Structure 1
Amino acid sequence: MKVAGLGFRKDVTLASLREALLAAGGPEGLAAIATVSDRADAEVLKQLACECGVPIKAVPAEALAGVDTPTQSKIVADKFGTGSVAEAAALAAAGPRARLIATRVVSRDRTATAAVAEGDGA
């Protein structure tokens, strides 16, 4: 199963979320969109999930901590204990043997990131 992980700022627009997701490979074949729990109820995220026809998987911040990611943001590492919310959320939601098939990409306005993982969903 393919899961898109998204990280985003509070002021993100639907257009920026779309742009990041498209840059990471687009919505085709996705089983879900994942993000950190405290952002999972964001209206723009709900709109994107609805457009893509997939559910949102909320990943607790504690589950992101310690997830090894190929890209690193010092700000994200200090706050969440992982290098990328998008990559860590995608990996966590896709299952224990998940692997990234698209590393973190960033929207042009730098308010959204996306990554895609594939796994067994267990």
Structure 2
Amino acid sequence: MSDPQKPAPVAPRRVAGIGFRAAAPLEALHAALAQAGGGGGLQALATSAEKARAPQARALARALGLPLIALAPEALAGQPTPTRSPRQIARFGTGSLAEASALAAAGPGARLLSPRALSPDRSASAAIAEAAFPPPGDPQ
């Protein structure tokens, strides 16, 4: 029997961060996500606010039945990532858009399940982050 004074455990929050070139086909986003571990168990997709407006980002979220979190530049800049792409650092202020998006959207204490994965054509990347507790104010 569970203790009524003790809160029930919270399931981990899992978010996939995505990054992609403007001309990347939807199939590349699917492939990158599959390489990163797939869409199972995810609560959301995340990317920069600029990329979230792209049709392929919206189509991926629709296909997976997930919300798409559009992150402001300040949420991404300075986010520590294992991947250190000079191009991404210059553009977004972080080494990997996919990794930074996953970490920022998953919330405080999030960790990457693995470094970013690339689509076979290298036009899209994805990374999955997990946090033990949802961010404050998020009903999960």
TM above 0.5 = yes
Higher gyration radius (CA): 2
Amino acid aligned to 1:46: R
2:122 to 98, 110, 122: 110
Extract unaligned runs of 5+ from structure 2: 1-12, 136-140
**Is 2:30 the partner of 1:18?**
yes
Extract unaligned runs of 5+ from structure 1: none
Amino acid aligned to 1:18: H
Amino acid aligned to 1:75: R
2:14 and 2:107 map into 1 onto residues whose CA distance is 10
Structure 1 residues 39-89: Cα deviation after superposition (integer angstroms, max 9, x where no partner) = 102111111111111100011112111111011111001111110000000
Amino acid aligned to 1:111: S
The 5-angstrom pairing of residues 57-68 of structure 1 reads 57-68=69-80
The 5-angstrom pairing of residues 37-76 of structure 1 reads 37-76=49-88
Q: How many aligned residue pairs are there?
A: 122
The aligned residue for residue 95 of structure 2 is 83
Q: Where does structure 1 differ by over 4 angstroms across 4 or more consecutive aligned residues?
A: none
Q: Percent identity?
A: 50
Q: Do the aligned partners of 1:93 and 1:121 also contact (CA within 8 Å) in 2? A: no
Q: TM-score, normalised by structure 2?
A: 0.84
- Going by fraction, where is strand more abundant, 1 or 2? 1
1:60 and 1:121 map into 2 onto residues whose CA distance is 19
2:56 and 2:88 map into 1 onto residues whose CA distance is 21
Q: TM-score, normalised by structure 1?
A: 0.96
**Is 2:124 the partner of 1:100?**
no
RMSD of aligned alpha carbons: 0.8
The 5-angstrom pairing of residues 28-39 of structure 1 reads 28-39=40-51
